[in-house]
Amino acid sequence: MRQPGTTPLHVDLRRYLRETDEDRDLTRVICEIADASKYIINAIRTGDLGMAGTSNLYGEAQLALDVLSDRIIRKRLVHSGVVACIASEESGEVQQIDKDCDHKYSVAYDPLDGSSLVDVNLAVGTIVSIYKGCDVLRPGREQVAAMYILYGPRTTLVYSTGRGVHEFAMNSLMEYTLNHENLRMKPGPAKIYSPGGQRSKWTEGTERFAQELEGSGAKLRYSGGFVPDINQVLIKRNGVFMYPHLQDAPEGKLRVLYELNPMAFLLEQAGGAASTGRGRILDLQPDRIDMRAPIFIGSRESVEQAERCIAEAG
Ligand code: AFP
């Protein structure tokens, strides 16, 4: 098996998965989602959602972009032959495709996170969490893979199957080719930070953390899109994103299954950390598919600093 860090750049995604001896069915799931992204890109770039009364790419009446993205991904997973269950942030329910839980995968995904940002031409993304078997209400540490696709000035795909984090970029032929292999966070505190939620609603602990970051010279970088904001931290190999517990929303805003678990898996695989502020995201036991939790994620030193501030001041 090829060791991470030894692959020539611009190898395409399917070949990379094959040459790193990835499980064939897991490869199928990852590649189906990669293929689905090409249709999502078309819908984003052209707004081709179908005109009222006519059909769109799939012969459907005009759809909202996130609904169309959900249908594009769902169709490919349903027909892949390797997926047992699907849980989509868009539908908010679990769809059982196949009863063979022992040999198939379950996929929890947010088809187009930040979809409201498309209208102001900001970057959005698809976020995917993959488990073996039929149960998606499990701690994130049991994921077998996680990935996201970022629809920005460039379209990039980041995934991990537990053997490092790898970034692919879409070329002119709409193929994903290797851009960064085995991304690793740099040691040291965050130099950029992404603070979500209304500051006036932060608790004292979060306010203290933000002031310590500012005091150490960290710069604020926040787009309002979870995928681009996390991607910035990962590709810069430094930084911290937070969407904290708020005075009127102790569970924060972001969803454990579709957003927090996959990103926490990826950042931990890159040597970073992901916490609710009081404990590891990947140890959370979801009690419902739309469970939310606070998140502090990125440079391990800064995530631990956030945990200290919250332990001291709430
Ligand atoms: P939408 O998917 O409703 O646009 O929200 C995007 C998001 O879930 C996530 O992508 C951002 O990190 C977060 O919300 C931003 O929330 P605020 O707008 O409250 O900062």
Instruction: Kindly give the confidence (pLDDT) of every residue in the chain, 314 residues in length, as a single tens digit, with 9 standing for 90 and above.
Output: 566 567 777 799 999 999 999 999 999 999 999 999 999 999 998 876 654 444 445 555 556 899 999 999 999 999 999 999 999 998 888 999 999 899 999 999 999 999 989 999 999 999 999 999 999 999 999 999 999 999 999 999 999 999 999 999 999 999 999 999 999 999 999 999 999 999 999 999 999 999 999 999 999 999 999 999 999 999 999 999 999 999 999 999 999 999 999 999 999 999 999 999 999 999 999 999 999 999 999 999 999 999 999 999 99
Residue having the nearest C-alpha atom to atom 9 of ligand 1: 226
Instruction: Compute the distance from residue 276 Cα to the ligand 1 centre, in Å.
Output: 17
115 lies in the same domain as 254: no
CA distances from 52 to 44, 62, 66 (A): 17, 6, 17
Look at residues 248, 274, 247 and name the one whose alpha carbon lies nearest to residue 260.
Answer: 274
Q: Are 182 and 166 in contact (CB under 8 A)?
A: yes
Domain C-terminal end among 128, 155, 180: 180
The verdict on the CB of residue 115 being under 6 Å from ligand 1 is yes
Q: Assign 3-state DSSP to the chain and report helix, strand, coil percentages, each to 5.
A: 35, 25, 40
Distance of CA 248 to the CA centre of its chain: 26
pLDDT of amino acid 49: 62
3-state secondary structure of 100: coil
Q: Are 304 and 272 in contact (CB under 8 A)?
A: no
Instruction: Compute the distance from residue 197 Cα to the ligand 1 centre, in Å.
Output: 9
3-state secondary structure of 2: coil
Burial 36-66 (b: 16+ CB within 10 A, else e): bbebbeebbeeeebbeeeeebbeeeeebebb
126 lies in the same domain as 164: yes
36 belongs to a structural domain = yes
170 lies in the same domain as 208: no
26 lies in the same domain as 82: yes
Instruction: Compute the distance from residue 251 Cα to the ligand 1 centre, in Å.
Output: 14
Instruction: Compute the distance from residue 303 Cα to the ligand 1 centre, in Å.
Output: 20
pLDDT of amino acid 53: 45
Instruction: Compute the distance from residue 231 Cα to the ligand 1 centre, in Å.
Output: 15
pLDDT of amino acid 76: 97
Strand order in the sheet with 105-113: 94-96, 83-88, 105-113, 124-132, 145-151, 155-160, 166-170, 176-180
3-state secondary structure of 291: coil
Taking the CA of residue 124 as reference, the ligand 1 atom at the shortest distance is 10
Look at residues 12, 54, 10, 15 and name the one whose alpha carbon lies nearest to residue 2.
Answer: 15
pLDDT of amino acid 54: 45
pLDDT of amino acid 51: 45
The verdict on the CB of residue 196 being under 6 Å from ligand 1 is yes
pLDDT of amino acid 52: 43
pLDDT of amino acid 61: 56
The total of structural domains in the chain comes to 2
pLDDT tens figures, 54-75: 444 555 555 689 999 999 999 9
The verdict on the CB of residue 116 being under 6 Å from ligand 1 is yes
pLDDT of amino acid 12: 97
79 belongs to a structural domain = yes
Q: Which domain holds residue 264?
A: 192-313
The verdict on the CB of residue 225 being under 6 Å from ligand 1 is yes
154 lies in the same domain as 96: yes
Instruction: Compute the distance from residue 114 Cα to the ligand 1 centre, in Å.
Output: 6
